[in-house]
């Protein structure tokens, strides 16, 4: 019989890691087991931290990402060495682009076996360094708490950009004892994020620009989470039109008079001052180009430097926690009447409401195709009725995501983000639901996107996570099919088979039902909602064409992401030259 490893006490490195996480309020870790991380695994369990064991490491990071997003804190994933880390890298990359605070823990071979061809021996830190805010291998037990403290501070953006961090440990280090003298109380304590006050001159400049604007526009993003009350107060005081662009959906109620989501193109081109609140000027906002925004000046508020100066510098830039910055902005403008053209703002809202009403009516009356297959909007209208408007919605895919993003109302919203990381759906749904027990969480995904992490339905079943998964099944990577058909004259390698995903769900213990007729949808969704976790596989028309497919997103124009914006950019550059 081989000799057993030494006992894993609470004073081992693995024990100290688990105790530190618990002290910091971490109650759930998303993980896939392996020998190199077994000491951490067992000590997490000993400390009463829930382990949600997954089927693929990237899903562990996706779940940690969504869990942290919905809980407003740090998400934690634990993955084993070698392929465990390489599998996790897509999830790490997505969190990196989304600026999501995620701690990823792993292991490496014992130190006497390093660089000798050991099982799963690879330098993980070299692989993940460009995707993380901090990446270290911790070999000395005396440094474990110091490194954990630094990594978690970096992840949460204490003094810099928030985002994923990575630590790994040789397995022999995990079994070693941390000297009692170095288990200092201050390293176990959770630390609140620094909250520097906004610089008064920058706030005064921002207030002058915004309250002096005739056509101000407010756009929120990641950084506005947790500042919904202050954001609504700003909109009430300023009367400016508002766009959320997905990152902050749910912060401002759809019924608020500032919301003009259906008028995105018009308001972006007409605004004279644009306030970005914790939002990068990425491809979804035309990189802030004058070709899209005309001669508008920008005011930029964020707690992260990159959201102040990417692509367009602000005429005023305020680096501070968003709630503090908005409160200071309101105080600086107190008693002042905004110069906004109210007729312009009212007209935008009226046209938004008209378009939104037409869209809702069109969703409910969308005709079936020649083969009798329902339009994706028909599916979305039925889902809206089933889940209400306060649910957490995770939208995933290409073509179907475009329909869902425009057509659904919800209380909170997650999607693949600006990395375009399709396949997050089921994993995000699991993480979101575990962070918000009692809320309805609906995953709305295309069949192609669902396939990336389809096995995570097993995770939902085993852990009894009550999510609703709705698969829009058109048997294709449909946005690419449209692109190939229109621009290349033939379809190559972008069609899928007519698979029964409901049968797969039933095989793993979920309630599963397949629907082919619109008339059967309401009852099927009701049955699914009563038997969560559940999956409803719905046959939809491949002929339906989303707004993203129509705008040229798939064929990737040279200068801008959309064909119309690309043409505008070319014209602007020519005229500017």
As a whole number of angstroms, the distance between CA 460 and CA 384 comes to 22
Q: Is there a catalytic annotation at residue 480?
A: yes
- Per the rule left: phi > 0, alpha: psi between -120 and 50, beta: everything else, 226 is left
Helices and strands of the chain, counted as H and E runs: 25, 17
332: which 2 tokens? 């600086």
Render the burial of 487-517: b for 16+ CB within 10 Å, e for the rest: eeeeeeebeeeebebbebbbebebbbbbbee
Among 172, 78, 89, CA closest to 124 = 89
As a whole number of angstroms, the distance between CA 66 and CA 414 comes to 8
What φ, ψ does residue 164 adopt, rounded to 5°? Answer: -75, 150
Strands 165-170 and 242-243: unpaired
Specify whether the CB–CB gap between 175 and 6 falls below 8 A: yes
In the set 147, 247, 480, 569, the catalytic residue is: 480
Find residue 53's DSSP bridge partners: 31
- The burial of 107, by beta-carbon neighbours within 10 Å (0-12 exposed, 13-18 middle, 19 or more buried), is given as buried
For residue 159, the tally of other CB atoms under 10 A from its CB is 10
Specify whether the CB–CB gap between 470 and 442 falls below 8 A: yes
Rounded to the nearest 10°, the torsion over CA 294, 298, 303, 307 is: 30
Among 427, 562, 445, 555, CA closest to 501 = 445
Catalytically annotated residues: 480
């Amino acid at each position: 019989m081989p000799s057993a490893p030494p006992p894993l006490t609470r004073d081992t490195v693995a024990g100290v890691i688990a105790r530190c996480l618990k002290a910091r309020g971490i109650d759930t870790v998303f993980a896939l087991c392996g020998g190199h991380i077994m000491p951490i695994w067992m000590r997490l369990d000993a400390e009463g931290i829930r382990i949600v064991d997954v089927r693929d490491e990237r899903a562990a990071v996706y779940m940690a990402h969504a869990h942290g997003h919905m809980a407003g804190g740090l998400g934690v994933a634990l993955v084993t060495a070698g392929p465990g880390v390489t599998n996790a890298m897509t999830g790490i990359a997505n969190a990196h682009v989304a600026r999501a605070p995620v701690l990823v823990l792993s292991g490496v071979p014992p130190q006497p076996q390093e660089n000798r061809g050991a099982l799963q021996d690879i330098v993980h830190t070299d692989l993940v360094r460009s995707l993380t805010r901090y990446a270290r291998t911790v070999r000395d037990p005396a440094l474990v708490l110091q490194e954990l403290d630094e990594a978690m501070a970096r992840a949460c953006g204490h003094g810099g950009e928030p985002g994923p961090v990575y630590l790994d440990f040789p397995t022999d280090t995990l079994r070693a004892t941390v000297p009692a003298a170095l288990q200092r109380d201050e390293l176990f304590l959770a630390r609140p994020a620094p909250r520097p006050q906004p610089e008064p001159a920058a706030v005064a400049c921002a207030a002058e620009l915004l309250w002096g604007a005739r056509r101000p526009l407010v756009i929120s993003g990641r950084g506005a989470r947790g500042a919904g009350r202050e954001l609504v107060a700003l909109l009430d005081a300023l009367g400016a039109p508002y766009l959320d662009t997905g990152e902050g959906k749910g912060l401002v109620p759809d019924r608020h008079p500032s919301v003009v989501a259906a008028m995105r193109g018009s308001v972006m081109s007409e605004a004279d001052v644009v306030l970005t609140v914790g939002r990068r000027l990425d491809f979804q906002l035309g990189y802030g180009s004058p070709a899209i925004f005309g001669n508008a000046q920008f005011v930029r508020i964020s707690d992260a430097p990159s959201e102040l100066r990417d692509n367009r510098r602000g005429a005023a830039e305020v680096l501070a926690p968003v709630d503090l910055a908005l409160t200071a902005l309101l105080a600086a403008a107190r008693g002042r009447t905004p110069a906004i053209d109210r007729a312009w703002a009212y007209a935008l809202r009226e046209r938004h409401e008209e378009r939104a009403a037409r869209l809702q009516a069109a969703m409910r009356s969308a005709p079936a195709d020649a083969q009798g297959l329902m339009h994706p909007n028909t599916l979305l209208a039925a889902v809206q009725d089933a889940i209400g408007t306060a649910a957490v919605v995770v939208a995933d895919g290409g073509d179907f995501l475009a329909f869902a993003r425009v057509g659904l109302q919800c209380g909170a919203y997650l999607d693949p983000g600006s990395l375009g990381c399709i396949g997050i759906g089921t994993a995000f749904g699991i993480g979101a639901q575990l962070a918000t027990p009692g809320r309805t969480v609906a995953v709305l995904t295309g069949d192609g996107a669902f396939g990336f992490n389809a096995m995570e339905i097993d995770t939902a079943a085993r852990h009894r996570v009550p999510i609703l998964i709705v698969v829009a099944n058109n048997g294709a990577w449909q946005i690419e099919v449209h692109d190939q058909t229109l621009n290349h004259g033939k379809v190559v390698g972008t069609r899928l088979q007519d698979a029964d995903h409901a049968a797969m769900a039933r095989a793993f213990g979920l309630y599963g039902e397949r629907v082919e007729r619109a008339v059967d949808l309401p009852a099927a969704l009701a049955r699914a909602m009563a038997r969560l976790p559940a999956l409803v596989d719905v046959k939809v028309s491949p002929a339906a064409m989303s707004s993203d497919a129509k705008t040229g997103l798939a064929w990737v124009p040279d200068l801008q992401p959309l064909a119309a914006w690309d043409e505008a950019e070319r014209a602007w550059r020519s005229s500017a030259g």
